[in-house]
Amino acid sequence: MTDITVTVIFHREGALALPALASMRDLVDHTRSLGLSVEARAVLDRPDDLTRHIVASRGDWLCAPEEIEFDDLGLSRNAGVQAARGKFLAFLDGDDLWGTDWLYHAHNAAISKNIDAIWHPQILYYFCETDFKRPPSGSLPDTRAQSYYLRHASSDEERFNQDALFLNNIWSANVFTTQSIHLRYPYDCVDRTKGFGIEDWSWNMKTLWEGIPHHVVTDKVHLIRKKSSGSLGQ
Amino acid sequence: MDFGLKEGRQFPGLQTKRGSEAEETIAADWNVFHLKDEIVAVRVEKVAAKLPPLILDQIRHQARHDGAIFACGRNAFAKLRQVDADDLIDRCGLDVDKLLASIETPPHSIIIISRLIAGDAKKYAADLADALQFLLRNPGFGYSNRAKLDRGNGLARADHPETLPQHPDHLLERHVQRLERSDTRRSGSFPQFDASKGYSGCKQHDRSGCGRSIRARPLAIRQDFLRLLQPGITWPVPNVWGDICTTRLAICNFTDRQQTTCALATSNNFPAEFWPADDASASRHLRRTGRGIWISRVEPLKGTGLLAALASARQADRFHIFGPLQDDPERMGLNAPNIQIHDLVSDVSATDFTSYVAFIFTSLFEGMPNIVLEMSQHAIPMVLADIGGLRDTFDEDAVVFVKHLDLENDTARAFSRALDQHRQSVAAAFLPGDP
């Protein structure tokens, strides 16, 4: 059985798919070089032509990119879950980047705990392109810089306040966990007729309240492009 | 701080807030005090732990794929702000425990409101507030901290909703206000309490003496909460809220404003029902005194004559004018007892207008008036003269347009009808049985 299926979800990222694919390739190659079997997949949910073209031309190393027409973040991930062959699944968003050894260390952490759990990187680095307009003073960032670090907490930490989830999302969507957890707890679709739905936030709530712990992998980082939407980086 | 605070000087190692922003700060780590004539909040900046070199190396490694990673400075990125994801005090000044504990008793109704669609949701929530206040006019549906609790059905009852007591210094209200302000400054962002803050219609400050406790009104919350109210999910303050299942729940659709319905939850766990007011109480409600707001340069070209006529036609209402005077108010007809003239609003986006029932824009000639765009960020109905590019900017179902007619009095009557019509149509949209 494949150790890990890593699935990147694309929508209409356009040129931002280029760094994401390059970073994902680093991630996959590095993990394979350490002896783990990795299936690398892409799900393109109603992509635009540029995104489709970039994935086709720069993603020939991916295993059969799948194009779907859901236009829904949650259902896109569920499609990735169904197609995956790995014991563990990792999801990536098509405009972000990831520390090269994320998969390897997340896998090690998951194996060592030997329990159902959901894994997040310890640090998210939110980088904001508009910070080019706010140059630093020497080694100090401008006080108006929009880039920042967000530190994830494990749900079993003493200081962890579960009630915070009622008011804000506290874990990102790029999780690492078993396929069986994903099959048990599929993502809810974003119900546009009701204008609601933040699929990762809802999923974090659902799984935590079902008793699935959320843990962090120490010293691992994801690099998240800061945008106006998104439930965590606000 | 005596020198430079007002000019925006940065104090190394300190974070500062001033004025209303400071006043609304309640997180434990802020010190709030008076400095001269101003309220100031100060806290020591959190000293972030140094990021492990391993993390920094991973970031550097990825920067070869995307230069934007170092947009903040290649030598500076290690010293960026660090925030704990679950520390909402640090992330957004929100003390979760205090906030949840501040809702001391179950509200009589919970309105589950969709998120997303920035801007519109606030307006939608405000409309809901208006409609529900209208529908809940029936005696027995008001709720207050002093009202008798009817444990039989979990509802609180108050026989005279209009005279509900005020609640001092309510934490949730203050948070709602704070978020309202921060949101209006950050277009594109959409904090999770939009619905409730837009809906709450809460007063600017308790000390203003014009508002009601948020507990006197239905509580609007994000739809995500619905999951948390399902059996099996533990409400964080069960002892405080008691049996949440006896609370009325209404799930509000957001498909189309014209078709918007208050779909009532029908499961046994969430009995929900709203009763329409009878005609007499509906009329009373519509006739009740309202406060309209008008902001512009105070001069005839801005429709001051029209405003004067409107004030004369609606003597039960009050009209608050904000703006620099270009002429003697009396000469412009603005000396009616129900007209109050105030100074210019220095920052429209940061000012609280939730106690006003409508923003009225009467200008005779405009291109694209900034004030209307700014006021659209506030959750109050807008009745606008149909001029310039406004019709291209706002949908008819979001604002009420009034055409200028030949006679000023006719136009004033049209404005007056529009004010009534807006409130009536909003209320009717949520009547049970409507599509």
ipTM reported for the complex, 2 dp: 0.94
| pLDDT higher at B295 or A109 | A109
Contact B272, B266 (CB under 8 A): yes
Contacts of B72 in chain A (CB under 8 A): 127-128, 131, 134, 136, 141-142, 145-147
Task: Summarize the confidence of residues B418-422 as an average pLDDT.
Answer: 77
| pLDDT higher at B328 or B229 | B328
Whether residue A228 and residue B189 make contact (CB cut-off 8 A), yes or no, is yes
| Chain A residue with minimum CA distance to B90 | A150
pTM listed for this prediction: 0.56
Nearest to B80 among A149, A160, A196 (CB): A149
Nearest to B85 by CA among A35, A173, A193, A207: A173
pLDDT per residue as tens digits for the range B195-210: 223 222 222 222 222 2
- Quickly state the pLDDT bin for A76 (edges 50, 70, 90): very high
Residue B170 has pLDDT above 80, yes or no: no
Task: Summarize the confidence of residues B265-285 as an average pLDDT.
Answer: 35
Residue B216 has pLDDT above 60, yes or no: no
Whether residue B85 and residue A171 make contact (CB cut-off 8 A), yes or no, is yes
The average confidence (pLDDT) of chain B is 60
Nearest to B85 among A98, A147, A153 (CB): A153
Chain A closest CA to B122's CA: distance in Å?
13
- The pLDDT of residue B166 is 27
**CA B160, CA B143: separation in Å to the nearest integer?**
9
The average confidence (pLDDT) of chain A is 89
- Amino acid identity, residue B46? K
Task: Give residues 169 to 208 of A whose Cβ lies within 8 Å of B.
Answer: 170-171, 193-198, 201-202, 205-206
Handedness of CA B391, B397, B398, B399 (dihedral sign): positive
- The pLDDT of residue A225 is 94
Q: What is the DSSP string of A191-222?
A: BTTTTB--HHHHHHHHHHHTT--EEEEEEEEE
Contacts across the A-B interface (CB distance below 8 Å)? 193
Cβ neighbors of A230 (< 8 A, separation 6 or more) are: A224
Place of tokens 């994902």: A24
Task: Summarize the confidence of residues A85-95 as an average pLDDT.
Answer: 95
**CA A169, CA A101: separation in Å to the nearest integer?**
25
pLDDT per residue as tens digits for the range B60-70: 999 999 999 99
What b/e sequence results for A163-183 when a residue is b if at least 16 CB atoms lie within 10 Å of its CB, and e otherwise? bbbbbbbbbbbbbbbbbebbe
- Is residue A211 less than 8 Å (CB to CB) from chain B? no
Termini Cα distance of chain B: 59
Whether residue B75 and residue A139 make contact (CB cut-off 8 A), yes or no, is yes
Task: Summarize the confidence of residues A71-91 as an average pLDDT.
Answer: 93
pLDDT per residue as tens digits for the range B357-378: 788 999 998 888 888 888 876 6
Whether residue A219 and residue B52 make contact (CB cut-off 8 A), yes or no, is yes
- The pLDDT of residue A58 is 94
Residue B25 has pLDDT above 80, yes or no: no
| pLDDT higher at B120 or A110 | A110
Residue B126 has pLDDT above 90, yes or no: no
Task: Summarize the confidence of residues B152-168 as an average pLDDT.
Answer: 26
Task: Choose, out of B46, B58, B70, B87, the residue to mutate when testing the contact with A (most A CBs < 10 Å).
Answer: B58
**CA A182, CA A77: separation in Å to the nearest integer?**
9
- The pLDDT of residue B191 is 25
Termini Cα distance of chain A: 39
- Amino acid identity, residue B260? T
What b/e sequence results for A80-106 when a residue is b if at least 16 CB atoms lie within 10 Å of its CB, and e otherwise? bbebbebbbbbbbbbbbbbbbbbbbbb
- Phi, psi torsion values for B210, nearest 5 degrees: -120, 0
- Phi, psi torsion values for B167, nearest 5 degrees: -110, 130
Nearest to A191 by CA among A80, A78, A93, A73: A73
Contact B67, A134 (CB under 8 A): no
Contact B284, B343 (CB under 8 A): no
- The pLDDT of residue B268 is 32
| Chain A residue with minimum CA distance to B75 | A139
| pLDDT higher at A117 or B274 | A117
| pLDDT higher at B160 or B77 | B77
- Is residue A225 less than 8 Å (CB to CB) from chain B? yes
| pLDDT higher at B240 or B34 | B34
Whether residue B227 and residue A202 make contact (CB cut-off 8 A), yes or no, is yes
Cβ neighbors of A57 (< 8 A, separation 6 or more) are: none
Task: Give residues 23 to 82 of A whose Cβ lies within 8 Å of B.
Answer: 23, 26
**CA B396, CA B86: separation in Å to the nearest integer?**
41
Alpha helices in B201-318 (DSSP H): 224-228, 238-241, 279-287, 304-313
Task: Summarize the confidence of residues B330-352 as an average pLDDT.
Answer: 82
| pLDDT higher at B169 or A25 | A25
Q: What proportion of chain B, given as a percentage, has pLDDT over 70? A: 45
Contact A72, A45 (CB under 8 A): yes
SS3 breakdown of chain A: % helix, strand, coil, rounded to 5? 35, 25, 40
Nearest to A200 by CA among A222, A168, A155, A154: A168
Contacts of B87 in chain A (CB under 8 A): 164
Contacts of A130 in chain B (CB under 8 A): 71
Helices (H) and strands (E) in chain B, counts: 14, 16
- The pLDDT of residue B163 is 23
pLDDT per residue as tens digits for the range B79-123: 898 888 988 777 766 666 665 555 554 444 444 443 333 344 444
- Quickly state the pLDDT bin for B346 (edges 50, 70, 90): confident
CA count, 13 A, side-chain hemisphere, B106: 24
Task: Summarize the confidence of residues A23-42 as an average pLDDT.
Answer: 97
- Is residue A132 less than 8 Å (CB to CB) from chain B? yes
Nearest to A175 by CA among A229, A114, A96, A234: A96
Whether residue A194 and residue B223 make contact (CB cut-off 8 A), yes or no, is yes
What b/e sequence results for B9-39 when a residue is b if at least 16 CB atoms lie within 10 Å of its CB, and e otherwise? eeeeeeebbbebbbbbbbbeebebeeeeeeb
- Quickly state the pLDDT bin for A154 (edges 50, 70, 90): very high
| Chain A residue with minimum CA distance to B89 | A164
Residue A102 has pLDDT above 70, yes or no: yes
- Is residue A150 less than 8 Å (CB to CB) from chain B? yes
Task: Summarize the confidence of residues A25-40 as an average pLDDT.
Answer: 97
